[in-house]
Homo-oligomer: A and B are copies of this chain.
C-alpha cells in the first residue's frame, strides 16, 4: 500500500471539510475514494462537487460493508461514532473518529475495548493538539522543570454561536440528536487539551445552564470546578453566548506560570520553587524572584491536515498519531462528569457512575424534541482553529 484509500461517513460541516482537505493534495498519502451520508441533499452535494471516482453510499454501514476502503473517517452525529468505529474495525479497516469520541463513556469504553483487540489503527480527530502553542504548553508542563501544577484556569468563552446556527439542523442542540450542548459540540477539543496537558481531575462540580442564551434544550453556559489528585484545583468556563468571548488558559506551577491568551503563550519562571521559598523566606510579603521567558515554538499549526497525515503515516509507516483513538474517552469523561454533577447538583468523583449518567441522559432524551422550522445549513468552519505563528 503506498496510499491509504479513505472513505468518509457523514459529509456535513466536518466531513465535507475533510473531503476538501483530501482533494487539495495536502495529505499526499491518502486518497478519498468514498463518502456516505443519510441525507439525499448531501449526496447530491457530493455528486456535484466531488470527482466522479468517489463512490457515494447511502449510509455508513454499506460503505463499511463494501470493504473498498483501507480507512474510514467517522464524521456523523456524535451518538454514532462508537458504533461506526467498531464496525469499521470489525470489517478490517482503520478508523479515525471525529470528536467527541461518543456521547457517554460507557459506549466509548466498549469502542476502546474493541480497538484494543484489533491490530488496526484507531485515531481521534484532536486537531487542536497540532497547534504550536498547545504543543509547547504540553512540552513545558510535562518537561518537569516547572514542577507540579497548582492551579488551572481556562476561560474559553469564544465559541460564539447565533440562534441561526442552532436553527441549522433539527437534531442540533437536542439531547436526542447530540446528547449535549457546548460541552459536546464546541469543547471536546478544549477538554481533550485540558486533560492532555494537565491530566485528569478526580473531582468535578459544574454548573450548566440549559438554553440560557439561545432557544435550545441543552447547555450553552458552563462553569466547572475541578480538583486533581496532586492537589491542584481548576476552573473551566465556557459558553456559546459571549461576544466578544475570551480564550485564556492559565496554568500555575510550583516554578512558574504559563498563560496562553488569544494564541499567544507567555511563561514567567521562578528562580526557586515557590513551595521551598514559602517555608524558607524570612520576609512575610516578598515573592520569589523570577523572570519572563521568551518562548520559541515551531509556529506550525497544521490542524486537520496534520491529523490526517499522521493517520496515514501510522498506517503506512508506524509513525505516531496526533492522538490515539482510545484517548478520546478522557475529554468525554470530563464532559460527562460536568453534566452529571450539574444534574445531581453535587460534586462527582472520578471514576463516576456511568449507569447513573446514562439513566440521567436518557431521561433527557425521552423528553427531547427535534427542532421545528429549521433551515438546514452546512457551514465552513475553516477559519476557527487558531493561527500559525505570525
Taking Cβ atoms with an 8 Å cutoff, the residues of A that contact B are: 150-151, 153, 155, 157, 160-166, 168, 205, 207, 209, 212-214, 221, 223, 225, 227, 231, 233, 235, 237, 239, 241-244, 246, 248, 250, 252, 257, 259, 268, 270, 274, 277-279, 281-288, 290, 345-347, 377, 379, 381, 384
Contact = CB atoms under 8 A, between A and B. Distances in A.
A233 B243 CA distance: 15
Contact of A243 (B155, B212, B239, B287): B287
Contact of A278 (B155, B163, B246): B163
Contacts of A381: 285
B284 A153 contact: no
A150 B242 contact: yes
A255 to B, nearest CB: 10
A277 B290 CA distance: 45
A214 B207 CA distance: 30
Contacts of A250: 155, 246
A225 B252 contact: no
Contacts of A163: 278-279, 281
A164 to B, nearest CB: 5
A1 to B, nearest CB: 38
Contact of A233 (B221, B233, B377): B221
Chain copies in the assembled complex: 2
Contacts of A277: 162, 243
A225 B207 contact: yes
A177 B248 CA distance: 38
A259 B261 CA distance: 13
A227 B233 CA distance: 20
Nearest to A203: B207
A377 B284 contact: yes
A239 B151 contact: yes
Nearest to A159: B285
A223 B252 CA distance: 14
Nearest to A383: B285
Nearest to A222: B233
A242 B151 contact: yes
